[in-house]
Structure 1
């Protein structure tokens, strides 16, 4: 009887983890091994990521003819990820976006962060999370499969006070073409934070190198005004009558010149803190459609303005300017210096939780 039970348990365990494949991906220059996880659901959608930077590297999504194609831009190997400053598909923290002068005050205490050559703190530089190997725990349950990535960010890491315990879960649903990113964090001292994933998409395929056939519908009624160095002025004007109005589906190609490429914060219309659908993005050429839902209040919408063809992607094609987009759900840049912005403060008694989902269909 014990033998039968053991066999049954092993069979159940194998069935539960079916759809999760782990591969060696390489060793960092510092000697740390990195693995790649490939998930596949019952419908044939694949999602893949690596331990380095907890970085998304692949999402195979079906078009109108049923053909699946990878829509996530990535690099060919670990050495390329170590070299790049492109932040492809990586988790950004402790603070995604800019903080003016690298300085903020919380509860009467002023904190000075490291700054770049322009005097701005951005994306956790010069010791960003995307350049670290995260600890991973794979899982499978009845409805989903995926991994939980964990990182200990010590007190003083990147200049921020408080030791922070961070977890990021990548979850692929078994019976739907949908993946989710779930964030959780605690801190040992009052601090500020802003997490996002810096994944680049092209729904026509990662190597398509154009957004001409894309249409964006974004439920955002305000945008963040910025001044020099893209530092927020504090104003949040209405999008009506501006190139930032995507409340009705529109392309970006004809608007790019007016804004010198999109790298702007759009504020969602949904109630504060609510988890809701915020965008539908379609590629008319392939028929692929991406629906985004989030609990975050805004998105940094970016049309890879900095790409110049010098980096070759995993498809063997050089990535070009305006050839993809990032849809980085998050809080606003420089929030600690603007009392009217949604707060990014975190205290020891609190647990921060956030989630964003990307669901796919075809027309």
Structure 2
């Protein structure tokens, strides 16, 4: 393996990727560069990993944010398939949480209140009276500590963060580790989450990345086909807070068990998608609790790229890039428009602390939290 830390130099593999070539190599590489300084004066670095097959993965310390994933298409041409922003200032000002780690609790908690072990916990409410994504001081807004590593099978980085007792209103001091691991000989990213607490609390972590397998900055979601192994979806109220119901996807626009396109579904009137139609729904996977299993395959007919997702999480928030409105330019210099990407946020169910029949998100001292999600890229 080769490793560099430089303001300007890039390894040969990165040069080829910049030219649009997937560059298989006998060596994997780790490059670290200064990305910027936050408004509060914290230096932020960007790490770029390149494996032996030419896949490149980039991320920054701010929010433990993935900024780019470059993989080849069916003709061997590499492109970035994750939507991202051009500067640290853009990441600090965005409300879209591009590629960042979300916590302490991803998703909504109704009335910003829950009860655990007989204790009522009140969280900071937003304008709608609920809690979401750890706002207003989510983990996506913090500079994480990082150390890089290389082993026989992979290269990557471990991000660490301590969330003190009372942070975001949650009880318990939480020690977090998030590992980004790129396999050397296979185009696969593994995200590994770990946490421990000194007092009973709840936790729900995810990555808030948006993908476009034709390449970030292209208007090509119509060429994507999604197959998701989920037979139920989470029923929500007008504020999109779960009611406690888990309904069958059969006969609805949320049924992707045999594969379907998102744009064709959005073009059809469907009560479950609302008006205007969009996807921002919790789907419950058909697998054992805690089992690491493949849950989705996404194919892009335009590029021939395929992404297979496996996770130990029980559900996903599947979002069709509804919030993009042309006001935010991506790293490619192109303004992102509505449905220019999709999110596949593996996690536990929203509002789980208020629904005893949902998979538990409780975390107690002496029992560590662990979660794994993998993204494997290939062509067809």
The answer to whether the superposition gives a TM-score over 0.5 is yes
Please provide the CA RMSD for this pair. Answer: 1.6
Residue 50 and residue 17 in structure 1: after superposition, are their counterparts in 2 closer, same or farther (change >3 A)? Answer: farther
**Residue 18 (structure 1) shift:** 4.9
- 1:30 pairs with 2:40: yes
Alpha-carbon distance between aligned partners in 1 of 2:38 and 2:370, rounded to the nearest angstrom: 31
Structure 1: any 5+ residue segments left out of the alignment?
A: 1-10
Aligned to 2:94: 84
Aligned to 2:142: 132
Q: Is the 8 A contact 1:17 1:139 kept in 2?
A: no
Alpha-carbon distance between aligned partners in 2 of 1:13 and 1:284, rounded to the nearest angstrom: 36
TM-score (norm 2): 0.91
**Residue 220 (structure 1) shift:** 0.3
Aligned to 1:149: 159
Alpha-carbon distance between aligned partners in 1 of 2:70 and 2:27, rounded to the nearest angstrom: 20
SS of the equivalent of 1:229 reads coil
- 1:239 pairs with 2:256: no
- 1:208 pairs with 2:225: no
SS of the equivalent of 2:236 reads coil
- 1:357 pairs with 2:367: no
**Residue 12 (structure 1) shift:** 9.6
Alpha-carbon distance between aligned partners in 1 of 2:43 and 2:218, rounded to the nearest angstrom: 32
Q: Is the 8 A contact 2:106 2:350 kept in 1?
A: yes
Q: Is the 8 A contact 1:156 1:162 kept in 2?
A: yes
Given candidates 266, 280, 293, the residue that maps to 2:310 is 293
Aligned to 2:78: 68
Aligned to 1:271: 288
- 1:195 pairs with 2:212: no
Alpha-carbon distance between aligned partners in 1 of 2:88 and 2:42, rounded to the nearest angstrom: 11
Given candidates 320, 323, 331, the residue that maps to 1:314 is 331
Given candidates 49, 53, 78, the residue that maps to 2:59 is 49
Q: Is the 8 A contact 2:3 2:30 kept in 1?
A: no
Aligned to 2:364: 347
Alpha-carbon distance between aligned partners in 1 of 2:283 and 2:28, rounded to the nearest angstrom: 39
Q: Please list the CA deviations of residues 30-80 of structure 1 after superposition, one character each: whole Å capped at 9, or x if unmatched.
A: 000000000000011000000000000111111111111100100000000
Alpha-carbon distance between aligned partners in 2 of 1:12 and 1:332, rounded to the nearest angstrom: 41
Alpha-carbon distance between aligned partners in 1 of 2:220 and 2:104, rounded to the nearest angstrom: 31
Structure 2: any 5+ residue segments left out of the alignment?
A: 5-25
Alpha-carbon distance between aligned partners in 1 of 2:133 and 2:266, rounded to the nearest angstrom: 24
Task: Find runs of 4+ consecutive structure 1 residues off by over 6 angstroms.
Answer: 11-14
Alpha-carbon distance between aligned partners in 2 of 1:185 and 1:240, rounded to the nearest angstrom: 36
Aligned length: 353
**Residue 17 (structure 1) shift:** 9.1
Aligned to 1:58: 68
**Residue 210 (structure 1) shift:** 3.3
Aligned to 2:12: none
SS of the equivalent of 1:171 reads strand
Alpha-carbon distance between aligned partners in 1 of 2:209 and 2:126, rounded to the nearest angstrom: 23
SS of the equivalent of 1:158 reads helix
Q: Is the 8 A contact 1:17 1:140 kept in 2?
A: no
TM-score (norm 1): 0.95
